[in-house]
Amino acid sequence: MQVIGAGFGRTGTASLKAALEHLGLRPCYHMLEIFDHPEMAGQWLDIAEGRSADWDAVFDGYQATVDWPGASYWRELADHYPEAKILLNVRDPQRWYRSMEATIFKQARKRESLAGRAGYAVLCRMSGDFAAFTRMTREVVVERVFGGDITDKAHVLKVFKDHTDAVRASFPPDRVLVYDVTQGWEPLCAFLGLPVPAAPFPRLNDSESFVRDARRRIARMVLRR
């Protein structure tokens, strides 16, 4: 493990995953990996529920991680991989909140509605993978990161700020980079000691594509055999 992304989801993590892989740090772990490998959800459930935390098994073959669920355990990962650099991907807090509201929080609220609970119950009966993924995301993100409260904007923004402050304060300056993907290649490559590519910096997974692609990924997971 060479790079640990400590930043929250919806801070450009899909773009950052693509950028790190372009730089040779591939594969890079991301929540998207679990859609392609649903058995990974069980590993994170074991961690969240205190049964085990075999980080080397979770990240076997991976050179970097960004996004949740890894970002929920940045302290543990930083301790376990002491040579890894810490990448604190950030975003303007208000823009980040709007993006979360339009994507992850919207889906979570839908799941808690009467119709949503009924629909998710059917999907979970159809697919053990989907049931584990749903349970995992609630435990690892909603509960662990936000204390179960994603409805209070002031609380959510405070969690975001406190997290940013905590990560920055936890490492020496040469180990952590506070980074916004709008800055492009230069600060990222300087931090990693890698040459700047000629290719444009990736721009992926805006709110509209997140919602569209989430339906497709869920369907693929549920119908997986």
In our burial notation (b when 16+ CB lie closer than 10 A, e otherwise), range 127-152 reads bebbbbbbbbbbbbbbebbbeeebee
Helix (H, G, I), strand (E, B) or coil at 171: coil
pTM for this one?
0.91
Structure token pair of residue 135? 């349970």
Answer whether 46's CB lies under 8 Å from 52's CB. Answer: yes
Binned at pLDDT 50, 70 and 90, residue 128 comes out as confident
Instruction: Evaluate if residue 127 carries a pLDDT over 90.
Output: no
Which of 80 and 119 is assigned the larger pLDDT?
80
Confidence of residue 82 (pLDDT cuts 50, 70, 90): very high
Q: Which of 35, 55, 30, 3 is nearest to 188 (CA)?
A: 3
Q: What is the pLDDT of residue 221?
A: 75
CATH number at residue 213: 3.40.50.300
For 110-126, what is each residue's pLDDT tens digit?
A: 777 777 778 778 877 88
Is 90 in contact with 180 (CB distance < 8 Å)?
A: yes
Number of domains in the chain: 1
What domain range is 37 assigned to? Answer: 3-223
- Within the chain, strands assigned E span 3-5, 28-29, 64-65, 85-89, 176-179
